[in-house]
Amino acid sequence: MRRIGLFLATNLAVLLVMGVVMNLLEPWLIAQGIDLNHAAIFIFALLFGMGGAIISLLLSKKMALMGTKARVIKQPSNPTERWLIDTVARQAREAGIGMPDVAIFDSPDPNAFATGASRKNALVAVSTGLLRHMRQNEVEAVLGHEVAHVANGDMVTLTLIQGVLNTFVLLLSRIIGQVIDRAVFKGRGYGPGYFLTVIVLQIVLGILASMIVMAFSRWREFRADTGGAQLAGRANMIAALQRLKSVHQPADLPESVEAFGIRGRVGGGIKRLMMSHPPLEERIRALEQGTP
């Protein structure tokens, strides 16, 4: 739950920072005689909401490498590294994408992730724990899962969804804030009631937006499992997920890339709404039944 809280807090912090900047700009624009109608507020919300998401996407590879201290394999130094490069290269050709950078990060937790700004500029990384705990056919399936994420454009889509939701959070909080300031506080729409309402609504709506993003993240995990099964074999993909299920260590990916890992945390009730991955049992069952 601590990791989920940190993930949520990061998203809300970004929204609040963007909101504070907008709050500082609004009085100045009004003083200059610029009418902030709903169309103008929408443009501002779009610029701040989508702008932050796009910048995050462009920096995703660099931030992932820094967050995990992953080492990109430039020149294979042993048979395992050569096999990783050759396997990802073959899967990338079959998936119709550019060759991703391949990296290894030091962690006892069996995990892997994919990130990057496009299908031609991606990163696939595996942990040392994954290489130690899994058989080669299972690692191949995990690599196929991550390559499928790239081929499906999941990094771009997830970022755009977050950007759209950020836009509506910023927009709706301000429209509702204007209404409350006029109706309850009898102001002109930009009084203390407006700014207080905006801050509260950005937190509440930001939580709801995060739930929507996580729901999409869980759905795309099923798609990536299907893609991994196509690239490495259904039996191997099932075996890889079963191996992950047998490992009881908590996933330790940083929040910035946790949604793109092969394995997430288990939760129930309200926790499930903030899970980036569906339970492994559900993913295994979906593969066994042949459902996406």
- Dist. CA 122–CA 97, nearest whole Å: 9
List, in order, residues 6 or more apart from 280 with CB less than 8 Å away: 241, 242, 244, 245, 263
Token pair listed for 216: 């999409």
Token pair listed for 196: 């207080």
Residue 252 identity (one-letter amino acid): D
> Tokens 């399936």 appear where?
141
The distance of Cα 52 from the centroid of its chain, to the nearest Å, equals 14
Q: At what angle do helices 79-95 and 192-232 cross, to 10 degrees?
A: 100
| 146 annotated active-site | yes
Token pair listed for 144: 């196929």
Q: Which listed residue (26, 146, 221, 258) is catalytic?
A: 146
> Tokens 């809300």 appear where?
12
User: How big is the chain by its Cα radius of gyration, in Å?
Assistant: 22
Of 182, 210, 1, which is closest to residue 190 (Cα–Cα)?
Answer: 182
Q: Is 279 exposed, middle or buried (0-12, 13-18, 19+ CB in 10 A)?
A: middle
The distance of Cα 118 from the centroid of its chain, to the nearest Å, equals 14
Determine the 3-state secondary structure of 274 from DSSP: coil
How is residue 33 annotated by DSSP? T
> What residues are annotated to the active site?
146
